Amino acid sequence: MIEVAQSGYLNAMAAATYLVHKGVPFRTAHEKIGNAVRFAIEKGVELNELTLDELREFGVEFEEDFFAAITLEATLDCHDVIGGTRASECARI
């Protein structure tokens, strides 16, 4: 399950959240990540397999810390709401 959960661009929301934390409005962040996902699909790779230079074609906000922000753990933890996928929420179930 872990292997499958790390594919299919399930981390796109975490990627958009990363850009929001860099000061990008969500609507713009969503568009930038959508374009990056489209590019990754065409290239046949996942978001985390794009290079920093490739990502920067979609926005100057991308930095090395992007890759840590889109791991499976970070993706699950970015949904920090009641009933969300954050580890502390899942432990309550």
pTM: 0.81
- Give pLDDT tens digits along the chain (93 positions): 667 666 678 899 999 999 999 999 999 999 999 999 999 999 999 999 999 999 999 999 999 999 999 998 888 887 665 655 545 544 444
What amino acid is encoded at 15 in this protein?
A
> Cβ–Cβ contacts within 10 Å for residue 39, how many?
16
Per DSSP, helices labelled H in 1-93 are 2-5, 12-21, 26-43, 52-56, 66-69, 72-77, 87-91
Give me the pLDDT at residue 76, please: 82
Give me the pLDDT at residue 4, please: 61
Contacts of residue 79, Cβ cutoff 8 Å, sequence gap at least 6: 13, 85, 86
Is residue 48 helix, strand or coil? helix
